[in-house]
Amino acid sequence: MQSRFFTLTDYPTGLPSRELFSLASKKLPDLGEGEVRIRNHWLSVDPYMRGRMTSMRSSYIAPFELGQPMEGGAIGEVIETNDSRLNVGDTVSHMGGWRDIAQISATGVTPLPDINVPEQAYLGILGMPGMTAWTGLNLIAEFKRGDNVLVSAASGAVGSLAVQLAKAKGCHVVGIAGAANKLAWLESLGVEPVSYRDRSAQELSDAIKLASPNGIDVYFENVGGACLEAALSQINEGARIAVCGMIDSYNAATPPPGPRNLSQLVVRKAKMQGFIVADHWSNYRQFLDEVAPQVAKGDLSYKETIQEGLESTPDAFLALFEGGNTGKMLVKLTD
Amino acid sequence: MQSRFFTLTDYPTGLPSRELFSLASKKLPDLGEGEVRIRNHWLSVDPYMRGRMTSMRSSYIAPFELGQPMEGGAIGEVIETNDSRLNVGDTVSHMGGWRDIAQISATGVTPLPDINVPEQAYLGILGMPGMTAWTGLNLIAEFKRGDNVLVSAASGAVGSLAVQLAKAKGCHVVGIAGAANKLAWLESLGVEPVSYRDRSAQELSDAIKLASPNGIDVYFENVGGACLEAALSQINEGARIAVCGMIDSYNAATPPPGPRNLSQLVVRKAKMQGFIVADHWSNYRQFLDEVAPQVAKGDLSYKETIQEGLESTPDAFLALFEGGNTGKMLVKLTD
């Protein structure tokens, strides 16, 4: 059986060019001990993957190996197994993405829970992005009822759950996004929408103030750049900033300078803390128990931006950096 | 009786010019109910005072009022009292500085503890600056034995206690300073001295790495600018950055941009937290019990840079922004 997969041919500087992603194919060997073969239905592309496209090992995740199959979240169906925990026909989540057929160790393969949601939800609102939103608010920012909460990239896979969890907690919530349809979606969720388009940090700060006259107690940061500078100008005493990511600088060949007003951290006695969701995965069951029933009932909204076919995976990934997604960006595979 | 005092004639933009500080004199009225009259021996000048020289009220301290006596830490002797807690002849610490004779409410006047140290130590190592170092390390950065600790402005009033508390805890300590005599003092304290002079952020980062090959777990931040960018490049996973101040930008008419590598907070899952020592003053007794005996025994070293005479107070203050002090900057008053 053949597996088709993407590899990186070189590490990019700046925004990766499409040509660096190469589609390859190989005949799969016989299944090894403890291995499983999966036909993927859905592939995930996520901004954090840009951090693996570098020769420099960061502290928490290894770079993609050039010429090898790339990796990422995926949902698929077991078609052959050498592990007794898994059965042919099981729908599973795993990290053997960026390919159609994955043959991997069963260690990191998890059957989906029996909850009445579409399977691809486990790549979005019930998967890593959803868990990231929950972790940032609960464990890093320690949000509480009545907080004034600001979320950047608020219509993205992470941000869109963050704003809804904050609304559900009884917070006043402001969401930053760009396109009109994203702002409209946020408004429909009870969020005060603020556009970053054509606005300086100062103008964005003024817009945030208008949307949250009592300042900002919690900032869920996905973007950096002007969003961070604008947010810092509006934080209240004791504010907590959970830094999930700074997509603004992921593709910068030379990273742009940081905010001019970092000393607001002192004046406002504020905390700014980065986190990686993998460190908090022991809380995944708690997250699922809390969030999954609300998703099943339709009380929590989520959107998907879907590209079709394995070939479209690099384009889906690159579109993340151009605001090309509302909610979760997914690649759907069909036979 | 006359009181001579400094007032601000206008709020400065950028580095305050000497002409904005005006020496005035007035005849003191009779002592009111609950008031006390103090002959000051020592006046404190501190970087945070720049934050009061603005028309914009920050969250935690009121601006100096134009034309009124300025305020600041001072040590003096009670010469008249309408408060039964205080006696003529008591040596006290209080906030009626920037003047020779203070006539103020006794509420904020504290007799010095009976410890065998020079009285001006209560403006430095046993006062607000010392308490700031202790608070940042203990309550904000939660430093522990074996941490690799970096301190900027390490030969200043705050930094020089911070490095010694960290050494005493069994930490590996790196101190950033400029002048050769400051670096030599740090070295004599068992601290790895690193000069920021004529170094880019990248060069400073390389120098820190050389001085602390195992990275940085705790950064005590007094400066901002290139120091912060250099430190962020060297932090370890789970690093804690206690932000005491950012003197680098206090006098900037337009604040300089922040560090280019703030996303290190995410990669290293690090925390950066601002604090104001006044919020933690309930711990002052604990600080004193811990630190004062070591100062009395000579186990903790401190230096003073002393200017003489009330007239020199503005110059002493302005010298803080030019590296003009080693240890605590003080003004000594003589009759």
Q: Let me know whether B134 and B268 are in one domain.
A: yes
Count of domains in chain A?
A: 2
Q: Which residues of B touch A158 (CB under 8 A)?
A: none
Beta carbon pairs, A and B, within 8 Å:
123
* Reported confidence tier of residue A58, pLDDT bands at 50, 70, 90: low
Tell me B186's DSSP state.
Answer: H
- Residue A261 and residue A138 share a domain: yes
pLDDT in tens, chain B (335 residues): 999 999 999 999 999 999 999 999 999 999 999 999 999 999 999 999 999 999 887 656 889 999 999 999 999 999 999 999 999 999 999 999 999 999 999 999 999 999 999 999 999 999 999 999 999 999 999 999 999 999 999 999 999 999 999 999 999 999 999 999 999 999 999 999 999 999 999 999 999 999 999 999 999 999 999 999 999 999 999 999 999 999 988 888 888 899 999 999 999 999 999 999 999 999 999 999 999 999 999 999 999 999 999 999 999 999 999 999 999 999 999 86
Complex ipTM: 0.92
Amino acid in the structure at residue B278: A
Among A196, A247, A179, which residue's Cα sits nearest to residue A15?
A: A247
Contact list in A for residue B244 (CB cut-off 8 A) is 266
Task: Confirm whether A29 is domain-assigned.
Answer: yes
Q: Which of A135, A236, A246, A263 to mutate to test the interface with B (most CBs of B within 10 A)?
A: A263
E strand or H helix that includes residue A33: none
Do B133 and B256 reside in the same domain of the chain? Answer: yes
Task: Mark yes or no for CB contact A267/B59 under 8 Å.
Answer: yes
CA–CA dist A105, A95 (Å, integer): 10
Considering the domain architecture, whether residues B57 and B188 belong to the same structural domain is answered as no
Residues in chain B with CB shorter than 8 Å from the CB of A142 are none
Q: How far is CA A255 from CA A117, A143, B9, B270, in A?
A: 40, 30, 42, 19
**Does residue A208 form part of some domain?**
yes
CA–CA min distance A48, chain B (Å): 11
User: What is the number of other CB atoms lying within 10 angstroms of the CB of residue A216?
Assistant: 27
- Which range is least confidently modeled, A54-68, A124-138, A184-198, A225-239? A54-68
Domain that holds residue B198: 128-278
From the list A163, A154, A67, A125, the residue with the least C-alpha distance to A298 is A125
Dihedral sign (CA B20, B25, B30, B35): positive
What are the helix (H) ranges across B146-283? 159-168, 180-188, 201-211, 225-234, 264-267
Whether residues B266 and A244 touch (CB distance < 8 A) is answered with yes
Residues A269 and A205 in one domain: yes
A187 contact partners, CB below 8 Å, separation of at least 6: A193
Task: Determine whether the interchain pair B259/A260 forms a contact, defined as Cβ–Cβ distance below 8 Å.
Answer: no
Considering the domain architecture, whether residues B26 and B83 belong to the same structural domain is answered as: yes
- Predicted local distance difference test score (pLDDT) of residue B56: 80
Q: What is the domain-level CATH number for residue A23?
A: 3.90.180.10
Boundary residue ending a domain (A262, A278, A294) = A278
Do A156 and A235 sit in the same domain of this protein? yes
Are B14 and B133 part of one and the same domain?
A: no
Q: CA A13, A232, B321, B7: dihedral to nearest 10 degrees?
A: 160
Tokens of A164: 């809804």
The answer for residues whose C-beta is within 8 angstroms of residue B114's C-beta and 6 or more apart is none
Model confidence at A56, pLDDT cuts 50, 70, 90, reads: confident
pLDDT digits 0-9 by tens, A302-315: 999 999 999 999 99
In a domain, A293, yes or no: no
